[in-house]
A and B are shown apart, each in its own frame.
Chain A
Amino acid sequence: MASTGYPPTQPGADPLNLWGNAREGSEVPTELQSRPQPADRRRASGDAPAVAVERVSRTYHGEGGTTVRALADVSLHATGGELLAVVGPSGCGKSTLLELICGLQQPDSGRVACAPAVLMPQRDLLLPWLSALDNAALALRIARVPRARARAQASALFDELGLDGFQQARPHELSGGMRQRVAFARTLLSGKSLLCLDEPFGALDAITRGEMQEWLARTLAAQPRTTRPTASTALSRTVVLVTHDVEEAILLADRVAVLSRRPGRVVAELAVEIAHPRSRTDPEVLALRERALSALGAGEPL
């Protein structure tokens, strides 16, 4: 259990007892317009990376003595403001990696030190009894922001995310893409500087997925400046995007880490230095795609 760093990673590792232990070092999410937290400032000035995962291994012990090695000796880093994509085949421990980063699990060995992180799970997990607006404002309500103010803040974000007019819609009235937008609004409004997106578009059809990828690229480009106007935080929103879609990773990310089959280990790290907006058919994108796929061992022609 060698995990240290800032903020102190939270104890209480097993997911079945998430609140079983006292939570030290948990911070109330900052409101969007408030002053940045010390952590933000520290990272913006380059004192610490937003994500530091060093030589982390994680093995699950199932009932009846079965063991599953999810991650083996994985190291990953992301600096403030960076969008790091983690690509790998299904079951390569990507979700485990995100839960480690979010402090929902502890590594068996190695070290995880990350900025306060918020998880956007694969399924939107919107609460069916709340309107889209109240779902987005959930983090603010949890931070005890009064209802009217929480709704006003969420409503302002709805305009930017292309959700205007859907404030009062219930989740079941929204399309899959719209639900993911609401879930993304909820993630942003947590005020955390590190966003962990777990296959955000994995459940969408191909056409909607393409639209949402463009939407996310646009939103992330605009987001930090519009909702967090202070200079010190303008570049501080860090994103870790987990996906099994190599193309999605290259279209969106600044850097792509390729994970192998289980047990997951990093087999390649590719910097994506292509200007936005990126096109699927751009030769540079295609070349990177080939490199990522061959790192995955799937690049050979059929």
Chain B
Amino acid sequence: MNAARDAFAGRDAFAGRDAFAGRVRAFLPAMLLAGALAGAWELYADFSGVQQDLLPAPHAVASALWSNGGSVWRNFTVTAEQVLLGLALALACGSALAIAIHLFPLLRRAVYPLAVGSQAVPIPVIGVLLVFWWGFGIFPKLVVIALICFFPIVVSTVDGLAAVDPEQPKLLRTLDASRWQAFRFAELPAALPAALSGARIALAVGVIGAFIAETSTPSSAAYSGLGREIIDNISSGFQTPRAYAATVVLFAFAVACFYALALAERVLVPWHARRRGATA
């Protein structure tokens, strides 16, 4: 009994180490490529004679990141909060709109053109209005991010909801399911993978959305985010290495969020992740 349990535990530990090794292997190509690009960048910046203000070398960016760590971190937390809350707002509004469009085809014809058009509105055009309405706090920025993020969520969720096997409604009808039950038992779970795919696209554009939000709606806070930090360092002080340092953080944040969502997908829609055999 004990021996069996030990053997089990041993196998688990082994499986854990294996899983870790597997994960490292999965990320190895990306890390190697990033390292190679950084090396090439370093060589180019050092030996091509390009100006430091135009393209700082990676070591200059690293040292700017190191020496301004405190302020970069505080700005990062501001931006991260905006991105995550903005994405949550976009998910809530986007999936609600998608469900409404799915259930009421009339709404699709009425709302879709407007939703598409809204993606073409340059945010600075409405930035001042948003500040006029909601002030210098976080909310106008969340609205900007949500506005940029909600579209891929709506489109992929609407498609996901409609992708149920056309025979499925007939079956459910003969099982006496109501329209709501057909939605709850079949359409909604079937749409979940597509909705999460939409969320991943939304997240990728959401990070740049935060940059747009910070630069188009002024803030009253002491730390107003990485986007503001980048713009300030580029336009006023020619502190290019500091701008690049903030950009590197944004870059890493987008990658981390993307993989966090992939992980969530594996937990929320295991049947889909397994079928795809996906790692990300």
Interface residues of A (CB under 8 A from B): 15, 18-19, 26-29, 99, 102-104, 117-119, 121-123, 125, 127-129, 138-139, 141-143, 170, 172, 186, 190, 192, 196
Provided the pairs A138-B185, A142-B185 are in contact, do residues A125 and B168 lie with their beta carbons within 8 angstroms?
yes
Give me the 5 closest cross-chain CB pairs, A-B, nearest first: A19-B179, A119-B174, A128-B271, A139-B175, A142-B177
Q: Are A19 and B167 in contact (CB under 8 A)?
A: no
> B175 — which chain A residues lie within 8 A by C-beta?
29, 118, 138-139, 142, 186, 190
Provided the pairs A19-B178, A27-B176 are in contact, do residues A119 and B271 lie with their beta carbons within 8 angstroms?
no
| 7 A–B contacts, CB within 8 A, in A order | A29-B176, A103-B174, A119-B171, A119-B174, A123-B165, A139-B175, A170-B271
B186 CB-CB contact with A under 8 Å? yes
Partner of A127 from the list B170, B173, B186 (CB cut-off 8 Å) is: B186
In the complex, which residue of chain A has the Cβ closest to the Cβ of B181? A142
Q: Are A142 and B176 in contact (CB under 8 A)?
A: yes
Q: Are A104 and B174 in contact (CB under 8 A)?
A: yes
In the complex, which residue of chain A has the Cβ closest to the Cβ of B180? A19
CA distance A263 to B166 in the complex (A): 24
B169 CB-CB contact with A under 8 Å? yes
**Least Cβ–Cβ distance between B109 and chain A, in angstroms:** 16
In the complex, which residue of chain A has the Cβ closest to the Cβ of B172? A142
B107 CB-CB contact with A under 8 Å? no
Q: Are B174 and A190 in contact (CB under 8 A)?
A: yes
Q: Are B185 and A127 in contact (CB under 8 A)?
A: yes
Q: Are A125 and B181 in contact (CB under 8 A)?
A: no
CA distance A125 to B190 in the complex (A): 12
Q: Are A26 and B174 in contact (CB under 8 A)?
A: no
For residues 142 through 197 of chain B, which have their beta carbon under 8 Å from a beta carbon of chain A? 165-179, 181-182, 185-186, 189
Q: Chain B contact residues: over half helix, strand or loop, or mixed?
A: helix
CA distance A119 to B168 in the complex (A): 11
Q: Are A125 and B165 in contact (CB under 8 A)?
A: yes
CA distance A102 to B169 in the complex (A): 13
Q: Are A104 and B173 in contact (CB under 8 A)?
A: yes
**Least Cβ–Cβ distance between A162 and chain B, in angstroms:** 23
Provided the pairs A18-B169, A123-B165, A125-B167 are in contact, do residues A117 and B174 lie with their beta carbons within 8 angstroms?
yes
Q: Which of B166, B174, B181 has the most CB of A within 10 A?
A: B174
CA distance A282 to B182 in the complex (A): 46
B5 CB-CB contact with A under 8 Å? no
CA distance A190 to B185 in the complex (A): 15
**Least Cβ–Cβ distance between A44 and chain B, in angstroms:** 22
> B182 — which chain A residues lie within 8 A by C-beta?
18-19
Number of interface residues of B (CB under 8 A): 25
B38 CB-CB contact with A under 8 Å? no
CA distance A139 to B178 in the complex (A): 12
Q: Given contact pairs A117-B174, A142-B181, enumerate 5 new A-B contacts (beta carbons under 8 Å).
A: A19-B178, A104-B174, A122-B167, A129-B189, A142-B172
Q: Which of B165, B185, B275 has the most CB of A within 10 A?
A: B185
> A196 — which chain B residues lie within 8 A by C-beta?
174
> A19 — which chain B residues lie within 8 A by C-beta?
169, 173, 178-179, 182
In the complex, which residue of chain B has the Cβ closest to the Cβ of A99? B170
Q: Are B176 and A15 in contact (CB under 8 A)?
A: no
**Least Cβ–Cβ distance between B175 and chain A, in angstroms:** 4
Q: Are B173 and A18 in contact (CB under 8 A)?
A: yes
B269 CB-CB contact with A under 8 Å? yes
In the complex, which residue of chain B has the Cβ closest to the Cβ of A142? B177
Provided the pairs A15-B170, A125-B168, A172-B275 are in contact, do residues A143 and B189 lie with their beta carbons within 8 angstroms?
no
**Least Cβ–Cβ distance between A37 and chain B, in angstroms:** 13
> B172 — which chain A residues lie within 8 A by C-beta?
142
In the complex, which residue of chain A has the Cβ closest to the Cβ of B179? A19
Q: Are A141 and B185 in contact (CB under 8 A)?
A: yes
CA distance A3 to B186 in the complex (A): 30
Would you give the 0/1 interface string for B232-271, flagging 1 where the beta carbon is closer than 8 Å to chain A? 0000000000000000000000000000000000000101
> A104 — which chain B residues lie within 8 A by C-beta?
170, 173-174
CA distance A127 to B190 in the complex (A): 9
**Least Cβ–Cβ distance between A92 and chain B, in angstroms:** 19
**Least Cβ–Cβ distance between B8 and chain A, in angstroms:** 20
Q: Are B170 and A18 in contact (CB under 8 A)?
A: yes
**Least Cβ–Cβ distance between A79 and chain B, in angstroms:** 21
> B272 — which chain A residues lie within 8 A by C-beta?
128
> B178 — which chain A residues lie within 8 A by C-beta?
19
CA distance A145 to B169 in the complex (A): 21
Q: Which of B170, B177, B272 has the most CB of A within 10 A?
A: B170
In the complex, which residue of chain A has the Cβ closest to the Cβ of B173? A18
CA distance A125 to B186 in the complex (A): 10
**Least Cβ–Cβ distance between A114 and chain B, in angstroms:** 11
CA distance A26 to B275 in the complex (A): 37
In the complex, which residue of chain A has the Cβ closest to the Cβ of B169? A18
CA distance A27 to B175 in the complex (A): 10
